[in-house]
Structure 1
């Protein structure tokens, strides 16, 4: 199984922009789709981002734009880069940035993974791209993938600059860190909160920062993982689409914030059009279902299910990516044009 997945996925390890997704842009050519690595400050932290501009981009004209938030452990060069490029091919200016404290962005200690930071990252991308030449602030959308999808829901609840809201394979980071994946750790919640509290106390005392998620499984160990999400996720992140800045490592003290967070609360605050996409075989689909039903005040809402797709397959597998992109372009065209 591992061999078949590795051989059929495309990795671009020598891409000049560091991109590791299939069909990634390799050079900027006049009048063609271009990629622009940029940096900007967010609350004093240097943020590393990529902006994609469509073919024939003219900074004197006005274009719709989409902000993209990456998955947990991911970076801008992986699946959000793929979707940012595909949306730019359809005429959108897009931006995807590495989360603060992660990837190529600044912030110490490294790999802090707090919901408030990830939500602020999305607001920060909106701040930056709204000032980018050619962007029409009145036609700004947002797309979050996996954990970035959960944080996108929270960001859009308050940030009405986003005129259309979409998620792909949404992952409710707080629910999973608290209850365990598929509610598998309900009996250890208080113990894990105590461990996170102790880790924060150790950091406050100036001692070593404690990290979790440091595992580096072998191919044989990966093959034995029972859940598609984690088995295919390890293959995606550590084998077929590996990037040196991508890691599942995060500070143990982050669990204080993660375990008390829930992406599906206050969904009634989303009044914008809402599109949520998930694979029919995704073992994470229950999180999309939980959030979708609570979006009672969305101007319009649609749950689009990609038949046969697992969670990770929506990141890279062409037949599923093509379906998601077609749906996203139709959605954003309808609500941002």
Structure 2
């Protein structure tokens, strides 16, 4: 089903489409390839999640399934927040080759598309946050039309953007990833990592701890359903955290907010206004009640010598509240 068929397209005027910025691909074979992969991946997760709900109601789930769900959710949430977002997108810290492999692996195991596409989309989001060119803003659609309906905007930002007919030119926004052999290995083999995360690791643990019956429950509940729910949770930063919550840095030139529930569920990524003020910070909390678990783990890994060159710009400029200039796409 297309975005238009789902009834969540923006209210477009009869005027010509607004000019899109560089690096936005509209239509063509690359977009068709993106859509085929999106439909296939989400189709598998939709079917698996529905089966997981039926299984839980009919067969029930036990402590093993719940424990594996929690462990895999925590690992892949950290993979998205620390590996994908803070390491690959913003280069908030550095690490050696073994740790880079680890971060790329758990990021790709989050089952949210390839590392390459995720990095390119997120960098474009920062460059054009809540403006024409933002791939997943609740205020504009992929073609640059402004949303009038709050609900339609939220639905677009929360996931419908993945089904539109635009995509990011990664030659512009993720050139460094294209030149990174470690990252590109995981891009090329992403479906194997999806399978490990959503099927084989939960299934193997379930079989080891409880036999065939628990294995099926782990695959459905701790694997496929967990992967889908992680996508929904991660999407809160693009939808809720650009619409609701509080703004510590009110002069940041977009609609980003900090939102408590999103912050808890994403291990700190819901401190989105803080993040948009200091995009390269590895630790984004600015108050005792702003709990950034991803950042705390990164700082802890730094103490252990496993990561280094940890960025903390806000610590050097604690009273600075003026917005940073929008960063240019990272090409190297």
Give the TM-score, by structure 1 length: 0.26
Write 1 or 2 for the structure with the bigger share of strand.
Answer: 1
Give the TM-score, by structure 2 length: 0.27
Larger relative contact order (Cα-Cα within 8 Å, sequence gap ≥ 6): 2
Write 1 or 2 for the structure with the bigger share of helix.
Answer: 2
